[in-house]
A and B are shown apart, each in its own frame.
Chain A
Amino acid sequence: MLSIQNIDVYYGAIHALKGISLDVTEGEIVTLIGANGAGKSTTLRTISGLLKPKSGKIVYEGKEIAGLPAQQIVGMGLSQVPEGRRIFANMTVMENLELGAYLRKDKENLAGDLKNVFAKFPRLEERKAQVAGTLSGGEQQMLAMGRALMSRPRLLLLDEPSMGLAPLLVKEIFSIIKEINEGGTTILLVEQNANMALSIADRAYVLETGRVILSGPAKELAASEEVRKAYLGG
């Protein structure tokens, strides 16, 4: 579904991604784990068009998308939940969700999708008239995810959904991610919380300073000595 071949990305003079390659097959949950500054978020931002790679290829559903503007990529069914949630704080929950469906042409199906989002996140329905900035951190993450789902993505990119959330909420968010995947959406997940990420993912890539240093089935990686020591706390 998505294939990245040897991309190099720079922030000015800083060489952030050094020839990263990875693949995501339809129906999978794939996770990118690694320490701060390893290039996880940069990889996602490059895929979604917020950054442009200097070299390399990004092929999504058979089409080269490297360097296309973000709005065109979203239109192809590839949607990103950005890091740190980035909701529209002064708008209501409902308005945030409506903006998620901004590019949808099939407006007649929106009511059904809204119902699905509310079924996954009942809290959002309770608070639909509330200004989004007044939601708790966990609710804002739910809103960011619900908003992305409103665009009916086939591939959903999640950037650190557990960031700054209480352990109980992290569990809830991850079970919802699993649920979204079972509903037929392919997921590429970037996480610091390697334990949680590996527990729901099919496959994983381990990034270190802009390179993929390990990859394989999530279960194998979770069991490997090297990963345990470096990322899972022994």
Chain B
Amino acid sequence: MQALRKQDLLLLGLAVVFYAIVQGLLMADIIGPFWELNIVLVGINIILAASLNLINGFTGQFSIGHAGFMAVGAYVGAVMTVKFSLPFIVALAGGAVAAGILGFLIGLPTLRLSGDYLAIATLGLGEIIRITILNIPYVGGASGFMGIPRLADFTWVFFLTIFTLFFIKNLIRSSHGRACISIRENEIAAETMGIDTTRYKVLAFTIGASFAGLAGTLFSHYFYIAHPASFTFMRSFDILTMVVLGGLGSMTGAVTGAVLLTFISAALASYPEWRMVIYSISLIILMLYRPQGLLGDKEISLSIIKRLTGGDSRAEN
């Protein structure tokens, strides 16, 4: 227990050091606006991937509607800051809570389904959310919600990413997290242990959805705009790819997947038509040679990093 807390503090310390370095480079203009944007995007994607991993990787429920919850957070947050002039932090909480409530309401009926059926239902729900937004003139309809102030910056994104990772990590290590993992491992056995499987599936889904909402609020307040086209099923698929690539059921895997894919697609920014081709090819290769993802369900731990490098590169994970 003591050792654990010590490790957490060490990780937090490394995160702060990492933050100071990047922030310093940003202020000195060594990192230009293009890469700054991508670093912010990495943070948002980590929140999305880690929260989807809670549902898909740890609880074993195959959801592919994450973009829908992100959209809810993006729009609810924007309405709160633009239409009601509320402080950004209230908008962040509002976006997360709204997405969480929706996740709860949607989770209750759909989580009775499993496997393919759940995937199809969540895919459909993601689209329903997007199309509903498309038809609300109050938030701009098809032309998008414009004029959102840029209230999010690297600092907000960084610390909320760290918060998300610590929150989900601690949840996974708690008895609630153990209950979620046991559902993934064997639902019938979990039930015979006396675990309320429906409750934990809905819990994981709700928490996952609310972090997606948080990411959505950050997203719309960094890019000045919330547009329905940003939240199509391609976005859900992107997030899913990060999780699967990194390894379902691995926290550090989700982070690795998010970092890798965000930078790959940034590097391919000048060849947008090739992006999906390279995505698909890399996924096919991965599924052929390493179907469990880069990290499987293992974690990169401090001790391994220490052994390999002396503890710098992925320390913020």
Contact = CB atoms under 8 A, between A and B. Distances in A.
Q: Which of B179, B181, B189 has the largest count of A CB atoms less than 10 A from its CB?
A: B189
B182 A88 contact: yes
Q: Which of B179, B185, B195 has the largest count of A CB atoms less than 10 A from its CB?
A: B185
B178 interface: yes
Given A88-B182, A95-B178, A100 B188 contact: no
Contact of B194 (A88, A90, A91, A102): A102
A102 B175 contact: yes
A147 B192 CA distance: 10
Interface residues of A, number: 27
A70 B191 contact: yes
A49 B196 CA distance: 12
Interface in B183-223: 185-186, 188-196
B178 A86 contact: no
A76 B191 CA distance: 14
A44 to B, nearest CB: 10
Nearest to B194: A74
A210 to B, nearest CB: 22
A151 interface: yes
A32 to B, nearest CB: 18
Contacts, number: 63
Interface string A76-99: 000111100011111100010011
A88 B196 contact: no
A113 to B, nearest CB: 15
Contact of B192 (A75, A79, A91): A79
A80 B190 CA distance: 11
B127 interface: no
Contacts of B299: none
Q: Which of B175, B186, B191, B192 has the largest count of A CB atoms less than 10 A from its CB?
A: B192
A88 B189 contact: yes
B36 interface: no
A100 B175 CA distance: 12
A134 interface: no
A48 interface: yes
Contacts of A86: 186, 188-189, 192
A89 B185 contact: yes
A90 B192 contact: no
Contact of A88 (B175, B185, B191, B297): B185
A69 interface: yes
15 contacts: A50-B188, A69-B196, A71-B195, A75-B194, A82-B189, A87-B186, A90-B297, A91-B182, A91-B185, A95-B178, A99-B190, A100-B193, A102-B193, A102-B194, A147-B193
Interface of B: 175, 178-179, 181-182, 185-186, 188-196, 297
Given A50-B191, A91-B182, 7 more contacts: A74-B194, A88-B185, A90-B297, A91-B185, A99-B179, A99-B195, A102-B175
